[in-house]
Homo-oligomer: A and B are copies of this chain.
């Protein structure tokens, strides 16, 4: 029995072929008319990609029929510990160590008890030029969800 590809296998193939052929993530995102962060996350295995968009990507990156199926499947999401400690990604986790409680307190003060959704959610990565050195600006934008328990006693 042939062991099928995993999302991780396809992600590594995509990263490799992209480097070999010199295709940018930006080009891939434009080819499927999607935001860049969504596109990269999806191609690295974090979102299912609709069939028509997979076809475009498959042609650009020479993916075979098996990879085409794999990219359409719902993923088991997450990156794992080794990715978390890469310096570029770690800085975001560190910022949450330092500012996480402050963000929480201010969400509660502004919105009440609840959370920012990570599902009804989008992210962007932008450059902001600055005389002191250009800046990376990452915007997390998620719907507020309050702890909404509909009590039986309140429904009557």
Contact = CB atoms under 8 A, between A and B. Distances in A.
Contacts of A24: 109
A84 to B, nearest CB: 7
Q: Please tell me the size bucket of the interface on A.
A: 35 or more
Interface in A82-111: 82-111
A10 to B, nearest CB: 8
B100 A15 contact: no
Interface string A118-156: 111111010110101111111111111111111111100
A103 B125 contact: yes
B98 A78 contact: yes
A131 to B, nearest CB: 11
Interface centre among A47, A130, A141 (most CB of B within 10 A): A141
Contacts of A118: 87, 91-92, 94-95, 98
Nearest to A69: B20
B137 A139 contact: yes
A57 interface: no
